Structure 1
Amino acid sequence: PPPPPPGGGGSGGSGGPGGDGPTGGPSWRDRINWRWVRRGSLIAAVVLIVLPLLTFGMAYMIVDVPKPGDIRTAQVSTILASDGSEIAKVVPPEGNRVDVSIDQIPVHVRDAVMAAEDRDFYSNPGFSFTGFLRAAKNNIFGGDLQGGSTITQQYVKNALVGDARSGVGGLVRKAKELVISTKMSGEWSKDQVLESYLNIIYFGRGAYGVAAAAQAYFAKPVEQLNVAEGALLAALIQRPSALDPAVDPDSAAARWNWVLDGMVEIGALSEQDRQAQVFPPTIPPDAASTQNQTTGPNGLIERQVINELLEIFDINEQTLNTEGLQITTTINPQAQAAAVDAADEYMEGQDPDMRTAIVSIDPKTGGVEAYYGGTDAAGFDFAQAGLPTGSSFKVFALVAALEQGMGLGYQVDSSPVTVNGIEISNVEGNSCGTCNIAEALKRSLNTSYYRLMLELENGPADVADAAHRAGIAESFPGVEHTLSEDGQGGPPNNGVVLGQYQSRVIDMASAYATLAASGVYHKPHFVQKVVNAEGTVLYDASQEDNTGEQRIEKDVADNVTAAMQPIAAYSGGHALAGGRPSAAKTGTNQLGDTGANRDAWMVGFTPSLSTAVWVGTTEGTKPLENQWGSPVYGSGLPSDIWKATMDGALDGTDTESFPKPEEIGGYAGVPAPPPPPPTSTEPPPPSETVIQPTLEIAPGITIPWGPPTTVPASPAPGAPPPPPDPAAVPPGPDGQPAPVNEPGVPVAPGAPPPPP
């Protein structure tokens, strides 16, 4: 710039310099380079206006808005009994949610939500620009990114972009929310947006969506909400937990009144109706929290159903938690109630450590109709526990024997057997002498069935094979190889016939169901049908092939059933009500070498229901005794529970007969008992029992050479001979018995008669 002009002076002398005047300079305005100011303003305008608009436009072009229905939100699945009654709710980790259509939500509830959250919802473009500017200001100068969001923005935030609230992440989230909300408003109808919003928004008490909220606060379906109730739910959206009437009734009432006034403002409610509203009562939070908690035995059913869905069917956890499934099970409410009632009745007053498990299965389908694994919904499931089965396993030795041609009339000895120095005996010394294998099963003679097992072609391996084919699992959690002595799949030892190995209650019910179905195996299952919230059928058992698998020949299974039919009545009088035919077997397992009992079983069936009952203790380390201190056997508490369960489950159903068995080994079914000996007034002749010498058939195993034999006793020295047997005296010429001249000596033909 040019130098400042010289200062002026006053008049001076001739030729002398003038005097100094005041110095001048440029103002601050003169010093600004306005050209740069204009350029800066233009750049700022581009950054603050044009660039955001350009970015918004590009984002609008790029962003892909899902179609209605494509956004999967977590929601509750429901487990139903076979009649449609509810057993349990499967609540996802995100909380309780049940989707409903817009038509199911009353208009006054929709109006209340708009009055509370977005009064010009049906006319706005899906976003609030003032709300966005407020969020930007708060982000720059401090503050929360909240307030002013439309219903569309709230839905996008909850369903698509998350909830970052500060910093760059919060501003980016708000920008994404703005773009998606705007585009969604152009692609979705307002009703679709409102429906989706009302199905996802949180209302407190763990309830997501208006349908879950209606249950959580008023214990009623959303369709039944009145104006006051709908206004309260709408009021809760702003601060769900804090505005719960159970937490802050005054603030809840104030917000509720504000919503009702808003409904009047938008024309959704007349002033007269507004004044008529009364603040609605809500159910206690504790009651709401228990609505979706599965309790008691149903919790263990829920666990099995979920396992079956995830492990067997093509239904993953995401589907389970997002599609609002309705899962219909095979559980029969009548049978389930019978099992629960039986357990409650007979376990009352018993040792606190005593437990029972009950499983009932339909032999024709494999469907589990009753399931009781304990009373703790989240506790240990005894129906899935590996437990020694005792004599209830003898039926599989009978299966193997029949398969090898031994009919039910096959004779076995019941005298004690010594194995490796250990004597195998029967309970309380019971014996049948020598009797058929059906009778030995009825009496549960250990010695008879031990001998029978030794006569099988492969001994104990044949028993295990028959059990596995019938339905005893070859493995289950905690037991990699069942019925195996080495636990690695090797053969069992001889104790398998007496039930020394672990099996589950559900497997025993299944294996006996195979016998009830004449040898046809059906895999046990719980799930009958699965439908999602849109009505799409994901699985339907009725459309699957359920013909089963013939694992045991029909004639074998039917003969085993015939041998089992007398046992329920024989075991403490546990025949089913009304003379209904049944086939059953008890079992008792000892507690080590203490002489006390550890486990007790009753397993039995009709043609339409197979039920297994176990009774034991929590740890299996103490004697199993009833409330009076007496040992519990299979014919005791387990049979009581079994009979009560079966009678209750089958009450009102037709009485069915078992099929007539075909002949095996010369016997079709159980042989008729021999006729009783003729009665006589004469004392029986003296006799004595000769015990046969023992034979060692294998190292450490000895059995008698033959059954005990009864022979006439020899007369004592000097005693008169016994009177002759008339049948032993030869006849005379006339066909009559020849006369005798001394006791027992006949007269020769033609000889004179003896003197008188």
Structure 2
Amino acid sequence: MTEKESTGKSTKVARPSKKQAKKKRRIWPWVVLAFLLVFVALPAGLFAYAYSQYSVPEPKDLANNQVSTIYAGDNQTQLARLVPPEGNRTHVQLDEIPEYVQDSVLAAEDRDFWDNSGFSFTGLGRAVVGKVTGNEDAGGGSTITQQYVKNTLVGNEYSYVRKIRELIYSVKMTNEWDKKDILNAYLNTVYFGRNAYGIQAASNAYFDKDAKELTPEEGAMLAGLIQSPSGLDPRVNQEASEDRWNYVLDGLVGMGDLTQEQRDGMVFPETRDPAEYSAYTEAPGANGHIKDQVIRELEEVGITENEVSTGGLRITTTIDMNVQNNTIQAVDDQMAPLQEDARAASVTIDPKTGAVRGYFGGHDSNGWDYANAPLQTGSTFKIMALAAALQQGIGLDTNYSSAPYQLPGSDLVNNVGSGCGVCSLREATKQSLNTSFLRLQADLKHGTQDTADMAHALGVAKSLPGIDKTLTEKGKQPFEGIVLGQYQSRPLDMATAMSTLANQGVWHNPHFVQRVENAAGDVLYEHPDDGGERRVSSNVANNVIEAMEPVAAWSNGALAGGRTSAAKTGTTQMGDTGNNKDAWMVGATPQLATAVWVGTADNTSAIFDQYGGIMYGAGAPTKIWKAVLDNSLANAEFQNFPAAYPMGFGNTGAGTAAPAYDPSWDSGAEDTQNYETPVEEAAPEEETKPAQPQKKPESPKPAPSPQRGNNGNNNQPPAQPEAPSLDDLLGPDGDLADLLG
């Protein structure tokens, strides 16, 4: 029954009037319009405005801090790596990365990369589906471009604002950059775990090879790591890593970059043990001291340590790995049987260029660099006085007495072992006679100052950390003991001085750096190939060399096959104990100059030979020196030093005014030690007694290099062998300031 039937009344349904219906129809477009304005036009406008305001840097301006690498002279052997604070990264060009590695990264992270506009709806959709279904292999919603923008421009803060900025930058970068540039930049910055940023560092971290050598299997494994670098490391979770690897390979098949047959034949690759790899290993062993020298040297030419540490520089040094390996081997062989605290240093320089070919300051890369440490030099310093004397016209045939020598005060200096009575400077050099050289030094126009000035001229640093002025007595004229090695110089200095003499008096700045290139391959610095600077006449240098030629054989260190050499041993005695604390051998061939020091870790205790006896220069230092040069020059031609022409006339020096020779002078009685001058002790080589035990010096650094001046003539004719005298080289205040800058 209807309502009408039950009530007897009709019921009407209310209908909107035409006016109301029309009004509703007019409201609906406005609602749509408002919706479009709020949710489409306004965001689009804001996006367009932001798009116009954002500026995307050029690819080169987004270069991230990168690892700098120091190489030996062969430009292949790595000596050191300098890792920036935020991680291990080395830039490589896209064409150095195999295409199958590039494709693997796209299969893992952005399969629509070549077609999308920096933002991928399909990628986002795939990520959403993956989240819903629990498929962790589906990947994230961010494109490669977005990931790169996040890593380099907007950061990874979790916020909508950051995400919008990321989207704007990604779209604009896609419109302004070449896609290859984006991919290249991404592959050089993305994190792969093991503190490896970029494909090159990752290739080394996981497979110990360059990126260009990766196999397809290895490339796919690395690509799979990007999603979760630490969790997908095969050494952490082998199963998860293999699952992700399979996902990448399947993607390559789906993209048409890999056939199913190829895919079926692939085997998951083995990775290196993380324990054998350290992203922060900068310079193992002896290389650490080479690294320090390189950094200091580059600072002198205007390349800061920060630039070296973060700039992705390729630094080629002068180190010859043949010489370097022979140096380390020689040191290890000779130091093995010695006391636990025995230490050694060895520096080898090319006399013709000043290039450091071998450098050993210790095996502790972060420890004390003995090759760069100020140490008492013993009788090796006699060559400085000899050069000064020759410069002043006192020839090698000049005779000097080896009688005891009275120093100012009450000290009487003797020679221990056989003296010569009265003999030439040639013989005095070979026998290293203290008293003869003290008399020679007394004959110099300015005495001990001339010895110091000649040492500086040949290459001994004028200042060192902790020593404001070297080779002086509190800033004044040095004591007589300078000729016997009383004052401190470095093994690097002594190798430099020998190089200058071996190069006929032409000094070259000792250097470790040959060339520096940035990540783009541009040369930032190259050591100038100049002619050096003449410091003494060629004939003075040649005469010193001639006097030193018999010494190696005299000290049981003659080079193999009778190869010509010039050498000088030296030792420093430890107080009145009769023991030695420093033992030296310095010398050269025409091709290489080498200085060797052997002592103890603190340089205040005695150094003994393998039998517990006193260490002399003819012991471990000479054996190291000989092994370095014999092995380094094994395949080199035999060369002779230029002939020396007599300087002055054979005569009797003023220092021979002494009583007739008495054999008792050679009895070896110990001399007194009231005066602060070292004294020779040993034969056939020598030992020098210091004024007092020396404390371990401050951390050594190279002194500032002298400025270069005009190049000298390296081939003077015999009729005009003399360069300007030492007096001419001296400034008005009596030092070598004008010469050394």
Q: TM-score, normalised by structure 1?
A: 0.77
2:278 aligns to what SS in structure 1?
helix
Judged with a 3 Å threshold, the aligned counterparts in structure 2 of structure 1 residues 665 and 47 are, in CA distance, closer, same or farther, namely: farther
Which residue is 2:734 aligned to?
A: none
2:277 aligns to what SS in structure 1?
helix
Q: CA deviation at 1:181?
A: 0.9
Which residue is 1:560 aligned to?
A: 544
Judged with a 3 Å threshold, the aligned counterparts in structure 2 of structure 1 residues 75 and 367 are, in CA distance, closer, same or farther, namely: same
- List per-residue Cα deviations over 1:230-275 (Å, max 9, x = no partner): 2211110011112101011122122222222222333333334333
Equivalent residue for 2:66, pick from 62, 69, 75? 75
Contact 1:424/1:447 (<8 A) preserved: no
Contact 2:109/2:140 (<8 A) preserved: no
Contact 1:604/1:611 (<8 A) preserved: yes
Contact 1:334/1:649 (<8 A) preserved: yes
Which residue is 1:477 aligned to?
A: 465
Judged with a 3 Å threshold, the aligned counterparts in structure 2 of structure 1 residues 410 and 37 are, in CA distance, closer, same or farther, namely: farther
Q: CA deviation at 1:667?
A: 4.9
Judged with a 3 Å threshold, the aligned counterparts in structure 2 of structure 1 residues 650 and 700 are, in CA distance, closer, same or farther, namely: closer
2:171 aligns to what SS in structure 1?
helix
1:604 and 1:352 map into 2 onto residues whose CA distance is: 27
Matched, 1:116 2:108: yes
Contact 2:405/2:414 (<8 A) preserved: no
Contact 1:389/1:587 (<8 A) preserved: yes
Q: CA deviation at 1:467?
A: 0.3
Which residue is 2:77 aligned to?
A: 86
Matched, 1:200 2:184: no
2:112 and 2:295 map into 1 onto residues whose CA distance is: 44
Matched, 1:378 2:366: yes
- Mark the runs of 5 or more structure 1 residues left unpaired by the alignment: 1-34, 136-145, 669-686, 693-698, 702-756
5 Å-filtered alignment, 1:258-337, equals 258-289=247-278, 293-309=282-298, 311-317=299-305, 319-321=307-309, 323-337=311-325
Q: For residue 214 of structure 2, what is the amino acid of its counterpart?
A: L
Matched, 1:491 2:477: yes
Contact 2:318/2:355 (<8 A) preserved: yes
Matched, 1:503 2:489: yes
1:86 and 1:607 map into 2 onto residues whose CA distance is: 26
Q: CA deviation at 1:485?
A: 1.5
Contact 1:601/1:613 (<8 A) preserved: yes
Q: CA deviation at 1:665?
A: 1.5
Contact 1:65/1:184 (<8 A) preserved: yes
1:54 aligns to what SS in structure 2?
helix
Q: CA deviation at 1:159?
A: 2.2
1:154 and 1:290 map into 2 onto residues whose CA distance is: 23
- List per-residue Cα deviations over 1:261-312 (Å, max 9, x = no partner): 2223333333343333322211111223279553221222222222222x12
Equivalent residue for 1:395, pick from 370, 383, 390? 383
Q: Which moved more, 1:653-662 or 1:86-95?
A: 86-95
Which residue is 2:585 aligned to?
A: 602
Which residue is 1:356 aligned to?
A: 344
Judged with a 3 Å threshold, the aligned counterparts in structure 2 of structure 1 residues 130 and 43 are, in CA distance, closer, same or farther, namely: farther
1:194 and 1:630 map into 2 onto residues whose CA distance is: 67
Matched, 1:538 2:524: yes
Equivalent residue for 2:570, pick from 553, 575, 587? 587
Judged with a 3 Å threshold, the aligned counterparts in structure 2 of structure 1 residues 56 and 317 are, in CA distance, closer, same or farther, namely: farther
Q: CA deviation at 1:346?
A: 0.7
5 Å-filtered alignment, 1:429-448, equals 429-448=417-436
1:241 aligns to what SS in structure 2?
coil
1:41 and 1:307 map into 2 onto residues whose CA distance is: 71
Q: Which moved more, 1:89-98 or 1:194-203?
A: 89-98
Moved over 4 A (4+): 35-51, 128-135, 290-293, 687-692
Q: CA deviation at 1:622?
A: 1.5
Matched, 1:519 2:505: yes
1:233 aligns to what SS in structure 2?
helix
Q: For residue 450 of structure 1, what is the amino acid of its counterpart?
A: L
Which residue is 2:534 aligned to?
A: 550
1:294 and 1:210 map into 2 onto residues whose CA distance is: 22
Which residue is 1:161 aligned to?
A: 154
1:328 aligns to what SS in structure 2?
strand
- Mark the runs of 5 or more structure 2 residues left unpaired by the alignment: 1-25, 128-138, 652-659, 666-673, 677-741
Contact 1:360/1:369 (<8 A) preserved: yes
Judged with a 3 Å threshold, the aligned counterparts in structure 2 of structure 1 residues 252 and 666 are, in CA distance, closer, same or farther, namely: same
2:27 and 2:610 map into 1 onto residues whose CA distance is: 100
- List per-residue Cα deviations over 1:403-432 (Å, max 9, x = no partner): 222111222221222335553434524321
- List per-residue Cα deviations over 1:164-222 (Å, max 9, x = no partner): x23xxx44332322111111101112222111111111111121111221221122332
Contact 2:82/2:310 (<8 A) preserved: no
- List per-residue Cα deviations over 1:47-66 (Å, max 9, x = no partner): 66544433322222222222
Contact 1:76/1:89 (<8 A) preserved: no
Equivalent residue for 2:396, pick from 386, 389, 408? 408
2:502 and 2:605 map into 1 onto residues whose CA distance is: 34
Contact 2:609/2:619 (<8 A) preserved: no
Judged with a 3 Å threshold, the aligned counterparts in structure 2 of structure 1 residues 570 and 172 are, in CA distance, closer, same or farther, namely: same
Which residue is 1:59 aligned to?
A: 50
Judged with a 3 Å threshold, the aligned counterparts in structure 2 of structure 1 residues 238 and 689 are, in CA distance, closer, same or farther, namely: closer
Equivalent residue for 2:201, pick from 205, 212, 216? 212
1:435 aligns to what SS in structure 2?
strand
Contact 1:132/1:174 (<8 A) preserved: no
Report sequence identity in percent. 50
2:480 and 2:160 map into 1 onto residues whose CA distance is: 75
Matched, 1:528 2:514: yes
- List per-residue Cα deviations over 1:681-723 (Å, max 9, x = no partner): xxxxxx996999xxxxxx999xxxxxxxxxxxxxxxxxxxxxx
- List per-residue Cα deviations over 1:604-650 (Å, max 9, x = no partner): 01112110000000001211111211000111111111111111111
- List per-residue Cα deviations over 1:388-414 (Å, max 9, x = no partner): 000000111111112222111222221
Q: CA deviation at 1:547?
A: 0.7
- List per-residue Cα deviations over 1:519-574 (Å, max 9, x = no partner): 11101001112233333222233xx2411111112221111111111111112x21
Contact 2:407/2:413 (<8 A) preserved: no
Contact 1:470/1:514 (<8 A) preserved: yes
2:60 aligns to what SS in structure 1?
coil
Equivalent residue for 2:622, pick from 636, 639, 652? 639
Q: For residue 206 of structure 2, what is the amino acid of its counterpart?
A: Y
Contact 2:196/2:279 (<8 A) preserved: no
What RMSD in Å do the two structures reach over aligned CA positions? Answer: 3.2
1:241 and 1:105 map into 2 onto residues whose CA distance is: 23
2:453 aligns to what SS in structure 1?
helix
Which residue is 2:223 aligned to?
A: 234
Contact 1:416/1:423 (<8 A) preserved: no
2:507 and 2:480 map into 1 onto residues whose CA distance is: 26
How many residue pairs end up in the alignment? Answer: 627
